[in-house]
Amino acid sequence: MIRVVLQTAPIDLGAEIDLHDAGGHGASASFIGRVRGDDDLVELFLEHHPAMTEAGLGELAHAAADRWKLGALTLIHRVGAMQPGETIVLVLASSRHRAEALAACEFLIDRLKTDVMLWKRETFADGRVAWVEERAGDRDRAGRWAQHP
C-alpha cells in the first residue's frame, strides 16, 4: 500500500504510525522532518504547485516501491505556514526486512529536496524574509541513488 498526502494541517504522528503499521510488517523505518528554529526563525512557508507537487510526491513514492520490496509506504508533506518545531514531512517505509525499509526511507528524503516542486520561504524575528536556495550537498545526496542502490 502506497499512501501519499500533501496537506496544510499538522501531521498527527501517532495516528499516522498506527495507520501505516496496521499491516504487521517485519520492519518499519521512519523519518520525521521538523522546522528548525535557527537564527530566530519565526515562520517557514512552503509554497507549491498543487498538481505538480502531488504528482512529484507520487512519482517518488512509486519509484521507491518499485526499487525495494515494500509492504507499505507513507509519505506525508506539509505546505503553507509552519513554526519552529512543527513537522514538515513524515516518511514511513515497511518491508519484511530492515534493509529495504531503511534504504527506501533514506532515498525518499534525499530525493524530496531535489525532485519535488516545493519552495521554502523563511521569516525571521527581525523582519527579514528569504527564500531557501538548494544546497550542493542536496544535489550530491540525491545523485548518489542513480549510481548504486
**Spatial separation of the C-alpha atoms in residues 126 and 140, rounded to whole Å:** 33
Share of the chain above pLDDT 90, in %: 78
Does the pTM surpass 0.95? The reply is no
Beta bridge partners of 51: none
CB 120 within 8 A of CB 82: no
User: Residue 147's pLDDT is what?
Assistant: 57
pLDDT in tens, 34-43: 999 999 999 9
pLDDT in tens, 73-118: 999 999 999 999 999 999 999 999 999 999 999 999 999 988 899 9
The model's confidence at residue 25, banded by pLDDT at 50, 70 and 90, is: confident
Domains recognised in the chain with CATH numbers? 2-147 (3.90.1170.40)
Q: What angle do CA 81, 82, 86 make, to 5 degrees?
A: 160
**Spatial separation of the C-alpha atoms in residues 110 and 115, rounded to whole Å:** 9
**Spatial separation of the C-alpha atoms in residues 45 and 81, rounded to whole Å:** 4
User: Residue 148's pLDDT is what?
Assistant: 52
